A and B are shown apart, each in its own frame.
Chain A
Amino acid sequence: MLKVEKIEVRYSGVPVIHDVSFHVNGGELVSIVGANGSGKTTLLKTVAGTLHPAKGSIEFEDEDISTSSTVNIVRKGITYVPEERRIFGPLSVEENLKLGAYIVDDREEIEKNLDYVYSLFPILKARQKQLGETLSGGEQQMLATGRGLMSSPKLLMLDEPSLGLMPKLVDEMLEAVATLKEEGKTILLVEQKVREALEMADRGYVLQTGRTIYKGTGEELLETDIVKKAFLGL
């Protein structure tokens, strides 16, 4: 579905992603793990069209999107849920969600998606009239994720959904991601909770200083020395 081929991404001319390739097949949950500054977020931003690769190609459903604008990429069916839960603070929960369905023209589909998000995160339904900025961190993350689902994306990219949440909420959040996977959604997940991210992933990539150093199925990666030593402290 998504095929990233040997891309190089630069910030003001300085390359930060070197020669990275990965792909996501339909219905898969693919995790990208790595330490701080290894280029995970940059990678997602490049796929989302905020940044553009200097070399290499990005294909989505056999169509080159490496030079497309964010707006067009969203229309093609890729939704990016940014890290640190960037929601619209001055708008209510429901308004936030409805804006997520911005590219959907069908009222029924919007209602359907809204019900779906509320069933996935019941707390949002209870808070639907509240302003986004008054929600707790965990609720904001749920809202950001729910907003990403509102446009019925073909590929959902989640950037560290567990960042800055308390342990109980981390579990809840990751469970929600697992539920989404079971329902057949295609997800590209970036996480620092390496064990959890790899356990539930179909496949994973380990990134270090802008290079893919390992790839394989989730279990395979959990067995490698580097993952054990560097991330799991075994």
Chain B
Amino acid sequence: MQIRTLKDALSFGDLPAVERIGFILFITFCFIFPWIIKGGFAQAVMIQFLIFCLYGLGWNLIGGYGGQVALGQAKNVGMSAYTVALLMVRWNIPFWVCTPLGVIVATIESFVLGYFLFRLRGHYFAIATIAVSLVWQQLFINWNFIGGARGIELPLRETPNFIYMQFDSPVYYHYFAFVLVMIAILYMNWFRKSRLGYQLRAITANEDVAESLGINAHWVKVKAYCITGIFAGMGGAFYTVYYSYIDPFSVMHLELSIMIALMTMIGGAGSMWGPIIGAMILIPLDRYLGAWLGGRGILGVDFMIYALMVMIISAYEPRGIWGIIEKARRKR
């Protein structure tokens, strides 16, 4: 059983050659990136890209394969980030102990929320996740114990420290994030062939029929939502040590949730590579454009360009960029 799982995760044999080559190029690019590009800003964007890949791959599970528009990823990111930050600041607990705890908190939140909210379907579910996100956001902004709107700052340590994940060069963070993304990709590769994967796709295609085959749709959705929470939790924990500073606006905000969902949809929800493509396009666009235009005092234009892209893609191909690629491939 275990060997089979491992084989499923590691085998990309059923994908077309083009996709496999693309994947290898992606790995190579991520691997050599810190050696060829030395610019601090570029490296920061790259790491953000990797974090968003992780978020997107996780969201793709419930939002793409599961077809549930859950707009509350930021909650899970924030829960985990805050757990890690609090434990590290107040009790000086090592990162490697905090992270599992943070992920567990994020997962429990997903489970409880999913259990109740998945009684709702479609738009109502989306609205409910937004509502809950807003509640958490306000709560975290006004909660003094965790720093309120000021956020939490991790103490700087004098020497680079592996136990607390504090390094003097972004290269270490880059590789750590890269490993997380690789684990996520392997997981997704297993997932799309797994029982849970088929269950979710069946529910997306037709929930009633799926139930008539004995699939407990509610339970399957809750499970998928929890796994999404784990991905977000990992990202949140990493975010905390990478920036050494978190506040409710960076990790708990609804804007982050929407960004994750949009990114995946633009890339192509419900496909293996969609979230990565989405992140690859949107993150650099967002950061560079924001920095470039913001530096010239033109605020908000980057959001307009962003919105325009969303509109064009959703009008032309609702299945995102990956949908366009697949269409082109079929025509040939």
Contact = CB atoms under 8 A, between A and B. Distances in A.
Interface in B190-218: 198-199, 201-202, 204-206, 208-216
B202 A48 contact: no
B193 to A, nearest CB: 10
B136 to A, nearest CB: 32
Contacts of A211: none
A176 to B, nearest CB: 20
Contact of B213 (A91, A95, A100): A100
Interface string A21-34: 00000000000000
Contact of A88 (B205, B214, B216): B205
Contacts of B208: 50, 82, 86
B201 A75 contact: no
B215 A102 contact: yes
Q: Which of B199, B208, B209, B215 has most chain A Cβ within 10 Å?
A: B209
Interface in A56-74: 70-71, 74
Contacts of B212: 48, 50, 70, 74, 79-80, 82
B216 A99 contact: no
Contacts of B211: 50, 70-71
Interface string A99-114: 1101100000000000
Could you say which interface size class chain B belongs to?
10 to 19
A90 B214 contact: no
A98 B204 CA distance: 16
A99 B213 contact: yes
Contacts of A80: 212
Contacts of A74: 212-214
A89 interface: yes
Could you say which interface size class chain A belongs to?
20 to 34
Nearest to B213: A102
A48 B201 CA distance: 22
Interface in B204-252: 204-206, 208-216
Interface in A128-146: none
A102 B199 contact: yes
A71 B211 CA distance: 6
Contact of A75 (B204, B205, B214): B214
A74 B214 CA distance: 5
Contacts of B214: 70-71, 74-75, 102-103, 151
Interface in B134-191: none
Nearest to B218: A71
A89 B213 CA distance: 16
Given A98-B198, A102-B199, A88 B215 contact: no
A95 B195 CA distance: 11
Nearest to B195: A102
Contacts of A95: 198
Contacts of B199: 99, 102
A99 B206 contact: no
Given A95-B198, A99-B198, A102-B199, A90 B205 contact: yes
A90 B201 contact: yes
Interface in A178-203: none
B310 to A, nearest CB: 23
A89 B198 contact: no
Contacts of B213: 74, 79, 99-100, 102-103, 147, 151
A165 to B, nearest CB: 19
Contacts of A147: 213
B201 A71 contact: no
A98 B193 CA distance: 12
A91 B215 contact: no
24 contacts: A50-B208, A50-B212, A71-B211, A71-B215, A74-B213, A75-B214, A79-B212, A86-B206, A87-B209, A88-B202, A88-B205, A88-B210, A90-B204, A91-B198, A91-B202, A91-B205, A95-B198, A98-B198, A99-B198, A99-B199, A99-B210, A102-B199, A103-B213, A151-B214
Interface of B: 198-199, 201-202, 204-206, 208-216
7 closest Cβ pairs, A-B complex? A74-B214, A88-B205, A103-B214, A86-B209, A70-B211, A71-B216, A102-B213
Given A71-B211, A151-B213, 9 more contacts: A50-B212, A70-B211, A87-B209, A88-B201, A88-B202, A88-B206, A88-B209, A91-B198, A102-B214
